Amino acid sequence: MAKAGTWIEPHPHGIYVRPADLWIDPSRPVPRAAVTHGHADHARSGHGAVFATPETLAIMALRYGVDAGASDNAAFAYGDGFERGGVRFSVHPAGHVLGSAQILMEYRGERIVVTGDYKRRADPTCARFEVVPCDIFVTEATFGLPVFRHPPTSDEIAKLIGAVRAEPERSVLVGAYALGKAQRVIAELRGAGWDAPIYIHGALEKMCQLYAVHGVDLGELRLVSEADKAEMAGQIVLAPPSALNDRWSRRLPDPVTAMASGWMRVRQRARQRMIELPLVISDHADWDELTTTISEVNPKESWITHGSEDGLLRWCELTQRKARALHLVGRDLEEEA
Amino acid sequence: MKRFAALIDRLIYTRSRNSKLALIVNYLRHTPDPDRGWAIAALTESLDFPAVKAGTVRTLLATRVDEELFRLSRHFVGDTAETAALLWPEKPLPFRGGVGVGHVEGAQPQQAPPRPSPKGEGELTVSEAVDALSSATRSDAPAVVASLLDRLDADGRYALLKLALGGMRVGVSARLAKQAFAQAFDVPVDDVEELWHAIPPPYAPLFAWGEGRGERPDLADVAFFRPFMLAHPLEEDSVDLADYAAEWKWDGIRVQIVRGGSETRIYSRGGEEISGAFPELVAAFDQEAVIDGELLVRGEVQGGEAASFNALQQRLGRKTVSKKMLADYPAFVRVYDLLAVDGNDLRSLPWTERRRQLEAFVPRLAASHFDLSQVIDASDFDDLAERRAGARDAAIEGVMLKRRDAPYVAGRRAGLWYKWKRDPLTADCVMMYAQRGNGRRASFYSDYTFGCWSDAGELLPVGKAYSGFTDEELKWLDKFVRDNTLNRFGPVREVEKSLVLEVAFDSIHASKRHKSGLAMRFPRISRIRRDKPAEEADRIASLQAMVT
């Protein structure tokens, strides 16, 4: 049997699709890139033309300014796509953040799906992951160890609200990645009935506005920089993780430091970051989601891009599935997971 | 188990002592017997289940989870109990089919053993868990632990495994637990201190007494702890030696040795039992009495006299002691008070009377392990000050002043006992690294590593301090660190070597731990020397001259 997937080439800085002369999520500037989603480790600036969902293009334009909105760029809604060099490309929901997509490529009767980052559980801020049958499934593995099982999001949100109510003279400061996690935490809070204003760090403002423009209702948001210290007592404040223990936090009333991340599952990780309230809320598939997804997609081969490849490879071996690790570089696993 | 697991979880992430205290108080008030007693015993590491060890858990995991996946996970998590708690296979979440949990069908060398049916119904209680673990044998321990884990969620499994294996590491000392008990039931902490060690877990009579449902437990024939009498720092210019007796203040650890019934126990200042670390003292103390004294190590360098605190540190914090340790660092107690003898409580007697009885009592103890702390025979206060200034003994930390007519009372009472430490030593050092603090100081660089110059002109670290400055000075230091950062290593910043800090410390010792070969005791920042150029800070050689 001929070797599968010979028309795509995994390189440390991205996946090259030879017949189409196009890169997927390249970590350095290229003439043509298909981008799965707007996180900086997948969407870099400086490409010639970018193919992505309209939301991802909007996010890139917001982050990188005009060059990401070049005239050669093309936006595709979920299910749509284009053909280039005999390869048929289409985008499908990945459930990771607003606009995140899996990219399906069909060439000479072979189907390859590149997931980018994804999760399976419901998220009020983005379309839910769809299983796309394929021959080669190129999957992430951020949480590719069986210790990573994210609890139900509603439990973690209840924990957050409980912590605010328990100490009404303090604020709870939640570290959440500026794109995706922050908006999801806000939307989940709204879904749980938290209708008080939510205070945000200036670095989150524009992305929250972008989400609102795309129809994600985040309720009333206020900037910490424009608020009185006293009014934030008993309230929820969101900031990028880097601001948690920095001087910026001194303007809050005795904040309880929380962090929303899949890494919070491991106590030592949370302690190292001096987190008092760990919230296991992740935009990445946990172990059960990763393994279930491979089972459901049931590809001939699984290629594992980044994260704990060894764990997922071992699972594939145990379940007699063909798999290999790609060792892509430049993936930022710490902050946004 | 849910409440206990939640308590542990909160304690892990809570850094302030007062917040920890509040969490335990709340737990003790709202949890029924005997669960709360077992829980507090587990927190203070007072439980031991000999049949259940880390190996038991590893063996057990191998029956449910692929060994390679366990190894990879253990490597990532760094703790066996936590890895096992997280890995333990549960039912998959509802959104998908039945495939793909941490264990892999058909891939294991053996199937999981049939689960023993859980004894109890509903939620597993802490006491059920304790019963099951303590009746387990080596051979059925894996099955027992498995049946318990099957009834718990991930947090519960973590709590159970920490309960079973120890190593809780949530920062709860026996002292904190006793304070929480006193606060929870509004009883005097001194009484709690006395009763605590007299009653085994789960402390049912103690809770009954605390809640006013029972009598104060009877302590006859029990080697119970008496709360220590403590001293204030001397702030007056002088005291009249007609009213106060002077003794040397020894630089060891304060201990109380109690023999009651047929048992001898050694308690540290916090009321923790440390008998296991000093078996030779337990064996040598054969009189029905309670003494208060300083535990020291005999140092060869000092010609058989008490060695510095540095030597004593070799003996601290050990559960068992090797023969070599016993031989290299022989411990003895310098006795300075007698709280009870031959069944008589002496605590209400004045110091003069207790001292008279003490002097008569000490010869009844083995001279190899016990000696009498001498009273300093000074003619007046000036004479005493002179002797204090001239004391060169490594084990002398200063002078104690004890009111001659004072009874032995728990805690720190005004005017009864004073400690008059030797003036601290100081050195001018250069700030090298800074690290953020905890809690309220989390956004401040408040922990400083500083160094002195070697002969080769290299700056070598000599210590680390995080106190001694005012809030204003802290703000200034924090800004200095941020404005003068050279490098960042995780939470640590390396700074421009330009700021001189005057560091005060009680003593300085040779140490292999630091490149400078020195270690300071109680270093703190005494002054910020903005006026002094870094090149003029002290040399390592001048610090070496202060080594005791």
pLDDT at B36 over 60: yes
Q: Which residues of chain B are within 8 Å of residue A319 when distances are taken between CB atoms?
A: 104, 107
CB B503 within 8 A of CB B520: yes
pLDDT band at B118 (very low <50, low <70, confident <90, very high): very low
Q: Which residues of chain A are within 8 Å of residue B101 when distances are taken between CB atoms?
A: 146, 288, 291
pLDDT band at B109 (very low <50, low <70, confident <90, very high): very low
CB A128 within 8 A of CB A99: no
Are residues A190 and A264 located together in one domain of the fold? yes
Domain borders along chain B are 48-165, 229-421, 425-544
Six-digit token string for B137: 């044998």
Read off the CATH number of the domain in which A49 is found: 3.60.15.10
Interface touch A149/B14, C-beta < 8 Å: no
* DSSP, residue by residue, A144-194: -STT--PPPHHHHHHHHHHHHHH-TTS-EEEE--TTTHHHHHHHHHHHTT-
Six-digit token string for B347: 């605590």
pLDDT at A12 over 50: yes
Instruction: Examine residue A3 and state whether it is found in any structural domain, yes or no.
Output: no
Q: Is B119 a catalytic residue?
A: no
**What's the first-to-final CA gap in chain B, in angstroms?**
51
- What fold is seen in the domain B229-421? D-amino Acid Aminotransferase; Chain A, domain 1 (3.30.470)
pLDDT band at B99 (very low <50, low <70, confident <90, very high): very low
Q: What mean pLDDT is predicted for residues B439-462?
A: 89
Distance CA B84, CA A269 (A): 16
Six-digit token string for A135: 């021959």
**Looking at chain B, which residue has its C-alpha nearest residue A271?**
B13
Give per-residue pLDDT as tens, A78-98: 999 999 999 999 999 999 999
pLDDT at A337 (0 to 100):
67
Q: Which residues of chain B are within 8 Å of residue A275 when distances are taken between CB atoms?
A: 13
Interface touch B13/A271, C-beta < 8 Å: yes
Is residue B91 within 8 angstroms of chain A, CB to CB? no
Is residue B220 within 8 angstroms of chain A, CB to CB? no
Give the C-alpha distances (Å, rounded to integers) separating B113 from A311, B63, B110, B152, B503: 25, 8, 8, 18, 62
**Looking at chain B, which residue has its C-alpha nearest residue A244?**
B443
Which residue, among A139, A118, A136, A138, has the nearest Cα to A128 in the 3D structure?
Answer: A118
Q: What is the CATH number of domain B425-544?
A: 2.40.50.140
Distance CA A124, CA A26 (A): 28
Are residues A170 and A100 located together in one domain of the fold? no
Six-digit token string for B118: 């859980």
Interface touch A268/B93, C-beta < 8 Å: no
Instruction: Examine residue A243 and state whether it is found in any structural domain, yes or no.
Output: yes
Instruction: Examine residue A2 and state whether it is found in any structural domain, yes or no.
Output: no
Give the C-alpha distances (Å, rounded to integers) separating A118 from A16, A284, B297, B362, B409: 21, 5, 62, 75, 66
Distance CA B399, CA B382 (A): 13
Give me the residues paired with residue A34 across strands: A24, A51
pLDDT at A109 (0 to 100):
95
CB B259 within 8 A of CB B288: yes
Q: Residue ranges of the alpha helices (H) in B329-392? A: 351-361, 381-390
Is residue B2 within 8 angstroms of chain A, CB to CB? no
Task: For residue B87, give the nearest of A147, A267, A277 by CB distance.
Answer: A147
Six-digit token string for B533: 């150029």
Interface touch A147/B101, C-beta < 8 Å: no
Instruction: Examine residue A261 and state whether it is found in any structural domain, yes or no.
Output: yes
Q: What does the radius of gyration of chain A's CA atoms come to, in whole angstroms?
A: 20
pLDDT at B305 (0 to 100):
62
Give the range among A294-298, B489-493, B500-504 with minimum mean pLDDT.
Answer: B489-493
Is residue B489 within 8 angstroms of chain A, CB to CB? no
Interface touch A267/B154, C-beta < 8 Å: no
Task: For residue B14, give the nearest of A267, A268, A276 by CB distance.
Answer: A276
pLDDT at A306 over 90: no
* DSSP, residue by residue, A7-19: TEEEETTEEEEGG
Distance CA B152, CA B165 (A): 17
| Nearest chain A CA: its distance from B32 CA (Å) | 22
Distance CA A189, CA A160 (A): 9
Pick B393 or B347 by higher pLDDT.
B347
Distance CA B490, CA B434 (A): 11
Distance CA B477, CA B484 (A): 10
Interface touch B104/A292, C-beta < 8 Å: no
β-pair type (A49-52, A32-34): parallel
Distance CA A280, CA A37 (A): 22
Interface touch A308/B76, C-beta < 8 Å: yes
Q: Name the DSSP class of B539.
A: B
Angle in degrees, CA B305, B265, B201, rounded to 5: 145
pLDDT band at A334 (very low <50, low <70, confident <90, very high): low
CB B419 within 8 A of CB B232: yes
pLDDT at B263 over 80: yes
Six-digit token string for A51: 């193919």
Distance CA B144, CA B369 (A): 46
pLDDT at B266 over 50: yes
Q: What mean pLDDT is predicted for residues B477-486?
A: 91
Task: For residue B76, give the nearest of A145, A294, A318 by CB distance.
Answer: A145
* DSSP, residue by residue, B239-286: --TTTEEEEEEESSEEEEEEEETTEEEEEETTS-B-GGG-HHHHHH--
pLDDT at B97 (0 to 100):
36
Q: Which residues of chain A are within 8 Å of residue B477 when distances are taken between CB atoms?
A: none
Place of tokens 């150029």: B533
Six-digit token string for A12: 């440390």
pLDDT at B114 over 60: no
Give per-residue pLDDT as tens, A251-273: 999 999 999 999 999 998 888 78
Interface touch A149/B86, C-beta < 8 Å: yes
CB A144 within 8 A of CB A308: yes
Neighbours of B194 (CB within 10 A): 21
Q: Which residues of chain A are within 8 Å of residue B83 when distances are taken between CB atoms?
A: 147
pLDDT at A200 (0 to 100):
98
Q: Which residues of chain B are within 8 Å of residue A304 when distances are taken between CB atoms?
A: none
**Looking at chain A, which residue has its C-alpha nearest residue B98?**
A292
pLDDT at B120 over 60: no
Q: What mean pLDDT is predicted for residues B260-278?
A: 88
Long-range contacts made by residues A76-79, C-beta under 8 angstroms, separation at least 24?
A76/A51, A76/A52, A77/A53, A78/A53, A78/A127
The last residue of one of the domains, among A279, A294, A311, is: A279
pLDDT at B277 over 70: yes
CB A201 within 8 A of CB A243: yes
Instruction: Examine residue A1 and state whether it is found in any structural domain, yes or no.
Output: no
β-pair type (A81-84, B524-529): unpaired
Interface touch A146/B65, C-beta < 8 Å: yes
pLDDT at A113 (0 to 100):
98
Catalytic residue among B20, B162, B249, B402: B249
* DSSP, residue by residue, A35-85: -S-SSTTT--S--SEEEE-HHHHHHHHHHHGGGGG-TT-EE--TT-EEEET
Give per-residue pLDDT as tens, A52-81: 999 999 999 999 886 555 678 899 999 999
pLDDT at A335 over 80: no
Distance CA A298, CA B97 (A): 13
Task: For residue A268, give the nearest of B79, B154, B438 by CB distance.
Answer: B79
Task: For residue A311, give the nearest of B12, B69, B154 by CB distance.
Answer: B69
Are residues A12 and A142 located together in one domain of the fold? yes
pLDDT at A76 (0 to 100):
97
Is residue B79 within 8 angstroms of chain A, CB to CB? yes
Tally of structural domains, chain A: 2
Q: What mean pLDDT is predicted for residues B166-172?
A: 84
Instruction: Examine residue A333 and state whether it is found in any structural domain, yes or no.
Output: no
CB A100 within 8 A of CB A56: yes
Are residues A309 and A257 located together in one domain of the fold? no
Q: What does the radius of gyration of chain B's CA atoms come to, in whole angstroms?
A: 27
**Looking at chain B, which residue has its C-alpha nearest residue A152?**
B93
Six-digit token string for A229: 């210290």
Residues across chain B? 548
Q: Name the DSSP class of B95.
A: T
pLDDT at B62 (0 to 100):
87
pLDDT at B488 (0 to 100):
85
Read off the CATH number of the domain in which A203 is found: 3.40.50
pLDDT at B187 over 80: yes
CB B501 within 8 A of CB B529: yes
pLDDT band at A2 (very low <50, low <70, confident <90, very high): low
**Looking at chain B, which residue has its C-alpha nearest residue A275?**
B13
Are residues A102 and A160 located together in one domain of the fold? no
Q: What percent of chain B has pLDDT over 70?
A: 92
Q: What mean pLDDT is predicted for residues B366-394?
A: 89
Interface touch B73/A146, C-beta < 8 Å: yes
Give the range among A97-106, A239-248, B177-186, B276-285 with minimum mean pLDDT.
Answer: A239-248
Cα A262 to chain centroid, rounded: 11
Q: Which residues of chain B are within 8 Å of residue A169 when distances are taken between CB atoms?
A: none
Q: ipTM of the assembly? A: 0.93
Distance CA A22, CA A28 (A): 13
Distance CA B335, CA B169 (A): 33
- Cite the beta strand spans of B48-112 per DSSP E: none
Is A316 strand, coil or helix? helix
Interface touch A292/B96, C-beta < 8 Å: yes
Distance CA B107, CA B65 (A): 10
Are residues A215 and A320 located together in one domain of the fold? no
| Nearest chain B CA: its distance from A153 CA (Å) | 12
Interface touch A246/B76, C-beta < 8 Å: no
Are residues A199 and A135 located together in one domain of the fold? no
Interface touch A249/B443, C-beta < 8 Å: yes
Give the range among A178-187, A297-306, B167-176, B225-234 with minimum mean pLDDT.
Answer: B167-176
Is A284 strand, coil or helix? coil
Instruction: Examine residue A337 and state whether it is found in any structural domain, yes or no.
Output: no
Distance CA B161, CA B159 (A): 6
Q: Which residues of chain A are within 8 Å of residue B97 when distances are taken between CB atoms?
A: 292, 295-296
pLDDT band at B206 (very low <50, low <70, confident <90, very high): very high
pLDDT at B105 (0 to 100):
39
pLDDT at B522 over 50: yes
Q: What mean pLDDT is predicted for residues B481-509?
A: 89
Pick B545 or A201 by higher pLDDT.
A201
pLDDT at B546 over 80: yes
Give me the residues paired with residue A11 across strands: A14
Q: Residue A37: give the domain boundaries.
A: 8-147+284-325
Distance CA B84, CA B56 (A): 11
Q: What mean pLDDT is predicted for residues B137-158?
A: 93
Distance CA B306, CA B371 (A): 11
Are residues A86 and A139 located together in one domain of the fold? yes
pLDDT at B410 (0 to 100):
87
- Mutate: best of B10, B67, B69, B168, partner A, most A CBs <10 A: B69
Cα A7 to chain centroid, rounded: 27
Q: What is the mean pLDDT of chain B?
A: 87
CA A41, A44, A49, A54 torsion-angle sign: positive
Side chain identity at B513, as an amino acid letter? R
Interface size A-B, in CB pairs within 8 Å, comes to: 102
Give per-residue pLDDT as tens, A15-42: 999 999 999 999 999 999 999 999 998 9
Give per-residue pLDDT as tens, B310-323: 677 778 777 778 88
Give the C-alpha distances (Å, rounded to integers) separating B254 from B1, B294, B337, B366: 37, 5, 11, 19
Count, in order, helices (H) and strands (E) of chain A.
7, 19
